[in-house]
Structure formats: structure tokens, C-alpha cells
Amino acid sequence: MKSLPSQSPVSFDEYRLYYESAERVTERRLTMNRWNYSILTASLVAIGVALGWVSSHRSFLLTGVAGACVLSAIGCFMSFYWLKQIDDFKALNTAKFEILNNMAPQVIFDGPHGRSQAKSFNCFEKEWQELSRAEALQSAVSNSFVRGLRSSSAERFIPRAFGAIFALVFCSVLTFSLISW
């Protein structure tokens, strides 16, 4: 962590409030992941239903193919956008925990008889050191942040898989329609 020059003391309540804001970012990220997953799954189902219906109503073949291609293209775009959202939330949380690390040494703990002699354990700084030792950190070259946690492979795999599925559906529908005409 960057060491800041000695600053004035920080209230533990302010520190706790800022930590809670970092937790809310994580909750928003999980909610966003669920939302994107639901929308993209519904889009795949819609494509399947539309193509199934069109197969029994040949007079609407062009409409069904165009609809499947448009939904697939939108699905690919949304999958890419989802990956960018994950990166943005990760960068925001990295910045918040960087600030928490810098605040920790200045936190004042109030006891029943005034200021406590307790000192911060600097738990987030120690956590970064452990993660560095375990090589769980990555360099965030595209951002101004020096380091950040690697995104979970599952979190990034799902939008990539959706993107690949939508691209495959797009190419398959287009190829099948060209062969059929």
C-alpha cells in the first residue's frame, strides 16, 4: 500500500461507514451479475422459442431468422458489457480498500474512559501482503490502481460463455438460413 504522510486521526465510525460502503459495492456487483445472468438466459430462451415457432410456420422464416440474429448480436454485446461492469466494480472496490488501508493507522478507538490505547491491526494491509505472497493479486495495467484482486474465474467465465453461445447461435442461424435459401 502507498504510505501517506502522517494525517490527522480518523474516527472509527467514519472508518466503519466507509467499510460498509465497500461492502455495498460488492452487493451491487452480485446483484448486477444475477440480473445480467437472468436477462441473457431469458434471451437464449426467447431465441429458442422463436426458432422453434418459426420452424413450424415457414412463412415467418425471415422474421424469425432476423429476430434470432438481432437477439444474438445484442446478447454478445451485453456479455461484453457485463465483463466491463465486473472490471469497473472490481476497480471501485480496489480503490475503496486502498483508502481503508490508508485510514487504518490513523483510526482512533474510543473506550469507556476516552481515547483507548488500542492501535489498528492494519488487517487490510496484512491481507494484501498475504494475497501478494499467495500470488492472488494482479496488476491493473489499464487502470490507475497499482494492484487488485484477480476476478474469480467463474465470475468472468459466465459472461464469456454467454458471449460464445450468442456468437455461435448468430453464426449457426445465419449459416443455416443461407444454406436453406
Q: Judge whether residue 32 has pLDDT over 90.
A: yes
Residues whose CB falls within 8 Å of the CB of residue 104, separated by 6 or more in sequence, listed in order? 15, 120, 121, 122, 123, 124, 125
How far apart are alpha carbons 161 and 38 in whole angstroms?
A: 14
Number of domains within the chain: 1
**Does residue 160 fall inside a structural domain?**
yes
Domain that holds residue 49: 10-104+120-180
Residue 27 inside a domain? The answer is yes
Say how far apart CA 173 and CA 72 lie, in whole Å.
10
Per the domain annotation, does 155 fall within a domain?
A: yes
pLDDT digits (tens, 9 = 90+) for 151-165: 567 789 999 999 999
Instruction: Quote the pLDDT of residue 35.
Output: 97
Q: What is the mean pLDDT of residues 65-70?
A: 92
Instruction: Indicate whether 143 belongs to any domain.
Output: yes
**In whole angstroms, what is the distance from residue 181 CA to residue 177 CA?**
6
Higher pLDDT, 125 or 178: 178
Mean pLDDT of the chain: 83
Q: Is 2 domain-assigned? A: no
Q: Is residue 3 part of a domain?
A: no
Compare 172 and 123 and report the one with higher pLDDT. Answer: 172
Chain centroid to Cα 43, Å, comes to 20
Q: Answer yes or no: are the C-beta atoms of 15 and 96 closer than 8 Å.
A: no
